[in-house]
Amino acid sequence: MANIGFISTRFAGQDGVSLESAKWAEVLWEDRGHVSFWYSGRNDRHPDISHCVPEAHFAFPENEWINQRIWGSTSRDPRVSARIHEMVAYLKRTLYDFVNRYNIDIVVPQNVLAIPMHLPLGIAVTEFLMETQIPAISHHHDFYWERVRFSIGAVSDYLDMAFPPSLPNVRDVVINQAAQEQLALRKGISSTVVPNVFRFEESPPEPDDYSADLREEIGIEPDDFLFLQPTRVVPRKGIEHSIKLLSMLGDSRCKLVVSHESGDEGMEYQEMLADLAQQEGVDIRFVSDRVGEVRQQDHHGKKIYTLWDLYAHSDMVTYPSLYEGFGNALLEAIYFRLPVILNRYSIFVQDIEPKGFHLLSMDGFVTSNLIDQVRRTLDDSTFRNGMVDHNYSVAGRFYGYTILRDHLRSLVASLLGE
């Protein structure tokens, strides 16, 4: 049994890093009784196992001040370098405090050594790993070279050093083959591909009394077809394709429901989608104000549902993303035995499609053939049930907790010499 210390800017909410980290902790506990502890700038884990350092959050004012001065330019003011060094020194001390407080045996940096949303934290973790030689599993979800916003900057020296570092005490983990290839090409670092997973060993929960009125509350009639877009409202999600699809279906019973908000990327895209839906005669509902991490009531006394409640009351999932690092929403839809309309993004083609799923797919645009397949899926329950049952079975073989357990068992053993 080992004490595992997860490190990130945030362990809270429904973002991919927070969700996958929780799954890792769950599997580590179930497999060998490894106990997980959490270091981050924002944290919703239990206080007894958490070390919350506000300065480690990517939205901390000092970090935002630094970010404003290092991206979009190729020169760096000495004052910025000094502020970076000061913050690195402080965060490194808090990492020592965290590891000593909980007697950590293995640290697991979660994406902080892959994407420089918090440059000083990544440098601090790198220096900490070098100074202590503590065993580490560095879990990379998406790299800086995959994001346009990080393509021009004044910190190439730090990126070369720490994002990620090449250290003998670290095992690097990526979530897809393309990332593995690019990490080897750019950094000369070998890595293990560990895909995102879901607990397919257990059946999804059935709709209950709490969510029984969900459709009514968001204005969906009993005989309507609820097409769920379970993503944030950002351009790379390709939601305009979902609108086009419903427009071509030409069935007023088909309603498009978007679960999440825009986040920090502005409202222009959502406004464009609303205008497009009106032009195409598509009923689109943005319901992020009725969806939360837990069931509760808002300040008006209205019910807040969870994303899982939405899945349980949906007929089909639209997932026309232009790019995904993996695609958690795809696994969730398959878990809830829902048909999925999917744009064949590159990671899907390389990593997921060869597994043999039966999905309603397109290549960058909606075709009449896809429309025919969607209509058949909606109308033919035997065909639909066969599709979703097949997908559930395939996902269980390739993306269940058993796969994650085997990978983590091997990684931990290699670090501890077991």
For the chain, the maximum distance between any two Cα atoms, rounded to a whole number of angstroms, is 67
Q: What is the chain's percent helix, strand, coil content, to nearest 5?
A: 50, 15, 35
- Whether residue 233 lies inside any domain: the answer is yes
- Whether residue 205 lies inside any domain: the answer is no
Residues 108 and 152 in one domain: yes
Residues 16 and 122 in one domain: yes
Place of tokens 């404003």: 68
- Whether residue 124 lies inside any domain: the answer is yes
Instruction: Tell me, rounded to whole angstroms, the distance of Cα 79 from its chain centroid.
Output: 35
- Whether residue 314 lies inside any domain: the answer is yes
Collapsing DSSP to helix, strand or coil, 176 comes out as coil
Specify the pLDDT at position 203. 87
Residues 237 and 373 in one domain: yes
- Whether residue 84 lies inside any domain: the answer is yes
Residues 223 and 364 in one domain: yes
Q: Are 360 and 339 in contact (CB under 8 A)?
A: yes
* pTM over cut 0.85: yes
- Could you give the number of structural domains in the chain? 2
- Whether residue 204 lies inside any domain: the answer is no
Residues in the chain: 418
Looking at residue 209, the DSSP 8-state letter turns out to be T
Residues 240 and 188 in one domain: no
Residues 190 and 281 in one domain: no
Encoding tokens for residue 166?
């090449």
Residues 405 and 393 in one domain: no
Query: Would you give per-residue pLDDT tens digits along the chain (418 residues)?
Result: 899 999 999 998 778 899 899 999 999 999 889 999 999 999 999 999 999 999 999 999 999 999 999 999 999 999 999 999 999 999 999 999 999 999 999 999 999 999 999 999 999 999 999 999 999 999 999 999 998 889 999 999 999 999 999 999 999 999 999 999 999 999 999 999 999 999 998 888 888 999 999 999 999 999 999 999 999 999 999 999 999 999 999 999 999 999 998 866 678 999 999 999 999 999 999 999 999 988 999 888 899 999 999 999 999 999 999 988 888 899 999 999 999 999 999 999 999 999 999 999 999 999 999 999 999 999 999 999 999 999 999 999 999 999 999 999 999 999 988 6
Residues 341 and 355 in one domain: yes
Range of the domain at 394: 214-398
Specify the pLDDT at position 327. 84
- Whether residue 139 lies inside any domain: the answer is yes
Specify the pLDDT at position 300. 87
What is the CATH number for 361? 3.40.50.2000
Residues 180 and 270 in one domain: no
Beta strands in 263-359 (DSSP E): 283-286, 296-297, 303-304, 316-319, 340-343
- Whether residue 332 lies inside any domain: the answer is yes
Residues 74 and 125 in one domain: yes
Residues 109 and 247 in one domain: no
Residues 240 and 374 in one domain: yes
Q: Alpha-carbon distance 65 to 49, whole Å?
A: 30
Specify the pLDDT at position 31. 86
Burial (CB count <10 Å: 0-12, 13-18, 19+), residue 400:
middle
Specify the pLDDT at position 328. 87
